[in-house]
Structure 1
Amino acid sequence: MRSMDLRILLWLMWLSLFPFSAGAADITAKMLAKDAALIDINGKQRMMRAGQTSPEGVTLLSASRNGAVVKYQGAEYSLSLQKHIATDFEQAERAEVRIASGRGGHYEIPGRINGIAVDFMVDTGATAVAMNSQHAQKLGINYLAGQKIRVNTANGTVTAYSVWLDRVAAGTIEIKHVEAIVHVGTSPHVILLGNSYLSLVDMSTENGVLVLKARH
C-alpha cells in the first residue's frame, strides 16, 4: 500500500473512532438578566453569570435583559430569549424558572424588586422577602413608614420593619404586592427570597435543580 493511501486510511479510521471530536452544541437562552443568564445547552439548563464556563465548554461573556453573548470553541454567538407559541388551542405554558444550586448548595437567582435589578438567595425558612436597611435605601424603599417589629435572627433579636413591595420578580415570574421585612443594620448580606413570594408560586426540585413555576 502506498504511503499516501495509508495516511488516508489512518485518517478515516481516526474519524470513525472520534466522530464528534469537532463538537457541536444546541444553545438557547431561557432567561436573561444583567450579567446572568439561564442557558440551555444540549437540553441541560445552566444558570450562569458573566465570565463562567459550563461543563460543556460554553462561556457566558455578557448578558442583559436584551440578550447574551456566549463563546464556544473559539466562536462567539449572540442569543435572545426563545419564544414559545401555543398551538392547537392549547394554553400557553406558565412561566418557569430553573435554578441550579450554587456555592454551599444555595439557590441564587437574579430578579427585580419594583423594577430594579437585585440578586436573590432562595430561603424557604424565611417567612417573607428579607433585606437589610442598606438594601432598602438603595431600592428607594421608605421602610421607616412600615410597621416596626422585632424579629429573631441567628444573631439575636433585632429591630425590623414590615413593608409591602409593589412587584417582586424572580427570573421571569413576577408577583405583585409582596410582603418584605427590612432588618435595621447590615444583615442579611443578601436579599432573601422568602415565603411571602415562594408561597405564591409552585415550587419543586428535579435532580437538584429548583423549579419555580407561575400559577397563572
Structure 2
Amino acid sequence: MTIRWSSRFIVSLSAVLPICASAADVAVAGIFANKAVLVVDGGPPRTLSVGQRTPEGVQLVAIDGDTARIFVDGRRESVRMGERVVRRAAAEGNSDVYLEGDSQGHFFVNGHVNNGAIRFLVDTGASVVSIGRSDARRLGIDLSKAEVGATQTAAGLRKVWRVRLDSVRVGTLVLNDVEASVLENDLPLALLGMSFLSRMEMTREGSRLVLRKRY
C-alpha cells in the first residue's frame, strides 16, 4: 500500500460552518474551571456550568482543557475557545460545510470516525484518511485482520495498517465505508485525506473551503 504525504502538514482551521437559515451559531468566548462562556446566535454571552443549557437549548456537557463539549441540534460537538460551530438538521447529511482558513490558508476541522470524536488536518496530499495508532485504539478500530504495509515518513519507514472505517463525519457530511490507514506512530492530528475528499466537491470562496457531497 502506498500513502502519499504532502511535503508539510496542511495545518489549519477555525470552524465548521454549514450555512442555513435556521442554524444555531455557537461560539465559545471563554473557559474556566467547570464553566464556559457561550455566545449563541450573536446574543449576549452566557456563563454555563457543566450540565446547564442556554435558553436556545444548547447544553454544556463537559470541559476538556480549552475545549467545550456541547450538545446542540441533537448532536454533540467539541468547540475550542475562540472557535464557533453552526449546525442544523440536514436531510441525509447533504448540506454544504464551510471551513474557515487561518491566516496562511490552512484548514483543520473537528470530526467523527465511527462515532468517536477526532480532530483532522485537511490534507489533499494524503491519498487516504490517516490516523495514528493511539487514536485508532481509542476509536475501537480493529487491526487484527487489517492488511499490513509500510510508508515513508520524515522519521523513516513506518508500519501501516489498511482499514475500512464504518463512517467519517465532518459537520453534516457523512460518508460510510471509507478507506483509511493507521500508522504505528501517533500523529498530532488525523489527516482528512482523499478517500474522503475525493467524494466531495471542493470549492474555494476567498479564505473558505466549501465541501459538498458528490455521492
> Shorter-normalised TM-score: what interval?
0.5 to 0.7
In structure 1, distance between residues paired with 2:27 and 2:189: 17
What runs of 5+ residues in structure 2 fail to find an aligned partner? 1-14, 31-35, 47-53, 59-72, 74-86
**CA distances 1:161-206 after superposition (whole Å, capped 9, x unpaired):** 00000111111110111011100022x2101100010011111111
Give the 3 Å change call, closer, same or farther, for CA 93–38 of structure 1 in structure 2: closer
Which secondary structure does the structure 2 equivalent of 1:134 belong to? helix
Deviations 1:116-158 (A, max 9, x none): 2221111000010001100000001112421100011222221
From the superposition, tell whether residues 139 and 82 of structure 1 become closer, same or farther in structure 2 (CA, over 3 Å).
closer
Q: Is 2:132–2:182's contact at 8 Å kept on the other side of the alignment?
A: yes
Check the 8 A contact 2:111/2:168 in 1, yes or no.
yes
Deviation at 1:48, TM superposition (A): 7.6
Q: Deviations over 1:76-107 (max 9, x none)?
A: 8737545689xxxxxx9942100011375421
Q: Which residue of 2 aligns with 1:161?
A: 161
SS at match of 2:185: coil
What's the counterpart of residue 6 of structure 2? none
CA contact (8 A) 1:95 1:173 kept: yes
Moved over 6 A (4+): none
Partner of residue 205, structure 1? 204
In terms of fraction of residues, the more helix-rich structure is: 1
Cα distance between partner residues in 2 of 1:103 and 1:139: 31
Give the stretch that moved more between structures: 152-161 or 128-137.
Answer: 152-161
Q: Distance between the aligned counterparts of 1:84 and 1:190, measured in 2?
A: 27
**Structure 2 contact 27–40 (Cα < 8 Å) conserved:** no
- SS in structure 2 at match of 1:160: strand
> Residue in 2 aligned with 1:142?
142
Q: For 1:93 and 1:139, locate their aligned partners in 2 and report how far apart those are by CA, in whole Å.
A: 22
1:152 is the counterpart of 2:190: no
- Matched-pair contact (CA < 8 Å) for 1:61–1:69: no
Count of aligned residue pairs for this structure pair: 159
Structure 2 CA distance for partners of 1:112 and 1:157, relative to 1, 3 Å: same
Query: Closer, same or farther in 2 for the Cα pair 1:171/1:162, shift >3 Å?
Result: same
State the 1:51 CA deviation: 3.1
Aligned with residue 17 of structure 2, among 22, 38, 44: 38
> Who is 1:110 aligned against?
110
| Cα shift readout 1:1-46 (whole Å, capped 9, x = no counterpart) | xxxxxxxxxxxxxxxxxxxxxxxxxxxxxxxxxxx76387xx9xxx
Structure of higher CA gyration radius: 1
Q: Which residue of 2 aligns with 1:50?
A: 28
SS at match of 2:111: strand
> 5+ residue gaps in structure 1?
1-35, 53-59, 63-67, 86-91
Q: Are the aligned partners of 2:107 and 2:122 in contact in 1 as well (CA < 8 Å)?
A: yes
Q: Whole-Å Cα distance in 2 between the matches of residues 150 and 194 of structure 1?
A: 17
Higher relative contact order (CA 8 A, sep 6+): 2
